[in-house]
């Protein structure tokens, strides 16, 4: 758990997918390394949260991503249990 956010410059592919003007994003510090690794693996994300000690860390992935693949990646990258979210047909689904 942490109370500090870090600023990270998005890698090219993630930046293009994000549609953001600002390339720099604020991420909860204790999940920044894992999210960066996800990006390095080509996973595109829309948002994330460490849970701040109340819930497990979570990531919201782009519609084009395979959430099961992302789950498997997270199992390898991070010992914490993660929730993977994705919008499907207007509903937020958890994996």
Structural contact between residues 35 and 9, judged by C-beta atoms closer than 8 angstroms = no
Please tell me whether residue 34 binds Zn ion under the rule CB under 5 A. no
Please select the residue that binds Zn ion; options are 28, 48, 61, 86, rule is CB under 5 A: 28
DSSP bridge pairs for 65? none
Site string for Zn ion, 42-71 (x = CB under 5 A): --------x---------------------
Nearer to Zn ion, 1 or 93 (CB): 1
Please tell me whether residue 2 binds Zn ion under the rule CB under 5 A. yes
CA distance 49 to 42: 19
For Cα atoms 19, 24, 30, give the angle at the middle one, nearest 5 degrees: 115
And the tokens for 77? 């990258």
> Which residues lie near Zn ion (CB under 5 A)?
1-2, 28, 30, 50
């Amino acid at each position: 758990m942490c109370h500090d956010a870090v600023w990270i410059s998005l890698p090219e592919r993630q930046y293009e997918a994000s549609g953001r003007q600002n390339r720099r994003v604020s991420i909860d510090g204790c999940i920044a390394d894992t999210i960066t690794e996800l990006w390095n693996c080509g996973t595109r994300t829309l948002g994330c949260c460490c849970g701040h000690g109340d819930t497990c860390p979570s990531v919201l992935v782009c519609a084009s991503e395979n959430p099961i693949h992302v789950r498997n990646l997270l199992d390898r990258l991070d010992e914490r249990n993660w929730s993977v979210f994705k919008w499907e047909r207007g509903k937020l689904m958890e994996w």
